[in-house]
Structure 1
Amino acid sequence: MSLTLLAAAATQAPQPIYWVELGLRNGIDLGFFTLRYYSLAYLAGIILGYWHLGRMIKGPGAPMAQRHADDLFFYCTIGIILGGRLGYATFYTGGSSDIPSLWLHPAELVKLWHGGMSFHGGLIGVLLALAWVSWRNRLDFLRVADYIAVCVPFGMLFGRLANFVNGELWGRVVSGPLPWAMVFPDAGPLPRHPSQLYEAGLEGLAMIVVMLVLFWKTRARHRPGLLVGVFTAGIASARFTVEFFREPDEQLQHFAQATGLSMGQWLTMPLILLGLVLVARALARPVVPTRRPIEIT
């Protein structure tokens, strides 16, 4: 190819989008305090999920009453925050990472404004909250988990959009022309995948559509474990896929290179298997009659 053709091809190549030119900010400056969009995203996801859960339990055969939903709202919020932070300290600091273990610096664990939340840790926190509320109120844990699973993708959507607004957790450097490639601040001059938007689309929007259709348009809610199984396998598969485009956490670059997969991908594989087992188990059993939750006074 001649130099003229090469020059013409270079001029026709799509120019990357510069994140700094989008006019995005990471929060609302109140003067004495900056209200972070990431915090607002968590709040919006929890409130929307709570509202939708309230609609769901009004239908026939719901496994819980409104007061149980109120308890879940409280304990799941604690589980998300504590589980997410402790999960980050466990999976993403210390060991082969370049960040000292947060377990050795307990004071740092409470500094949420410094960032660092683990999806898998938050998931464990939510499961513990579900187990506690279900046990205390004699509720069917699996059916309660089914209802909660329908609401979780709302928070995933808002959270990933907040990551994009913050200009954090960017993707890998693109290997070819990509019209939506972006140059993020603090990520060098090379265009990258906006993987936050990929996650928002797959873990958030796509899972919202799938879960709402299954709940409102099918009898999936009457097969214990089916909804939570679809959610677990679906969101883990989405995360596994997006990790191919997402830049591994800086402190775990060596881990990803040594193992061939990122920490996020290793952590999602057991979830995919668990989700498939739950789906197979639910489909192998007949639809069960529902009963009203036991009210403890």
Structure 2
Amino acid sequence: MLPFPNIDPVALAIGPLVIRWYALAYLGGVGLGALYGRFLLARKSLWANNAPPFAPDDMFDFAFWAVLGIVIGGRIGYVLFYNLPYYMGNPLEAFALWDGGMSYHGGMIGICLAVLIFTRSKGGNLLSSLDLLGTAATIGIFLGRIANFINAELYGAPTSLPWGVIFPTDPMQVPRHPSQLYEAALEGLLLFLVIRYVTHIAYGLRRPGLVAGIFAIGYSLSRIGVEFVRLPDVQLGYLYGGWLTMGMVLSLPLLLAGIGMVLFAMRKNHGR
């Protein structure tokens, strides 16, 4: 087994001010994603008809809308998908963001809606805007999953593999799959490299919807695969026969949407 790195989840504490690695992962993902997105927007030759969805200087306004979508959508998604009976009995606690509880799929819905509203106000191509989001989202996913590992949360099932990790928050204290690192590697690093190839070598941004579709497919397949070794939320457990999880269920519509977007983008003629 691998020893768990003794990293304090609190990155910095100054008196009553406490800054956690998880919060820094969110901020870092948005900041680095915005910088990368601005770089792509500035390269007009990457886009269909040399027309990115909006100007590079609008990228940080775009990032602000994205943060709102992530936070609001992620919280609503967690309440609806993962713990609705509890919050129906305790409705005010749905607003207690400081107690944790965010849904990735809810955050994705929220950020897509925010991005579409922002792009519409700029008169840009909505599919190209989703493509831009797909290029940058992998950065935030990678940092977020690393923060999950530091927090010793969302770990996997017991394993006898040599890279099993004993997490300090595990009451059984047995080696487990470091499923957070699996997701960081697949949904974050590997998917970033695939999309970077598509955008810079294959000029995929010239086909609006293609990059967003590839992101949706790559994320969904990675998430579904890791869910086989990742423990489900304790309040939900396994669904329908003891192997299906809510993460799998929520990833299936995303997978179908991604396939549809790729087919649409490949069949439609786009300007060069």
Gap runs ≥5 in structure 1: 1-15, 290-297
When normalised by structure 2's length, the TM-score is 0.92
Corresponding residue to 1:151 among 136, 152, 160 = 136
CA contact (8 A) 1:134 1:141 kept: yes
Structure 1: distance between partners of 2:18 and 2:240: 37
Question: For 2:57 and 2:132, how far apart are their aligned partners in 1?
Answer: 15
What SS does the aligned partner of 2:36 have? helix
Conserved in 1, the CA contact under 8 Å of 2:62 and 2:118? yes
Corresponding residue pairs, total: 264
Please say if residues 68 and 133 of structure 1, whose CA atoms lie closer than 8 Å, have aligned partners that are also in contact: no
CA separation of 1:225/1:185 partners in 2, compared to 1, >3 Å: closer, same or farther? Answer: same
Conserved in 1, the CA contact under 8 Å of 2:54 and 2:122? no
Equivalent position SS for 2:128: helix
Q: Within 5 Å, give how 1:1-297 maps onto structure 2.
A: 16-19=1-4, 22-27=5-10, 28-60=12-44, 61=50, 62-95=52-85, 100-101=86-87, 103-174=88-159, 177-187=160-170, 188-253=172-237, 255-256=238-239, 258=241, 260-289=243-272
Structure 2 segments unaligned to the other structure (5+ residues): 45-49
Distance 1:79 1:141, change over 3 A: same
Shift of residue 104, structure 1, vs aligned partner: 4.5
**Counterpart-to-counterpart distance in 2, 1:75 and 1:119:** 17
Aligned-residue CA RMSD (Å): 1.5
Instruction: State percent identity of aligned pairs.
Output: 36
Contact 2:215–2:258 (8 Å) recurs in 1: yes
Is the CA contact (8 Å cut-off) linking 2:37 and 2:132 kept in structure 1? Answer: yes
**Quick one: distance in 2 between partners of 1:139 and 1:17?**
49
Give how far 1:259 is off.
Answer: 5.9
Larger Rg: 1
For 1:214, the aligned partner's letter is V
User: In the aligned structure 1, how far is the partner of 2:80 from the partner of 2:204?
Assistant: 35
What SS does the corresponding residue of 2:175 show, helix, strand or coil? coil
Between the aligned partners of 2:111 and 2:100, the Cα distance in structure 1 is 20
Residue-by-residue CA offset, 1:160-184 (whole Å, 9 max, x unaligned): 000000111110111xx31110111
How many Å separate the matches in 2 of 1:220 and 1:66? Answer: 19
CA contact (8 A) 2:66 2:111 kept: yes
- Write the deviation string for residues 162-214 of structure 1: whole angstroms up to 9, x where unpaired: 0000111110111xx31110111232122110000000000100111111111
**Could you state the TM-score of these two structures normalised by the residue count of structure 1?**
0.85
CA contact (8 A) 2:116 2:129 kept: no
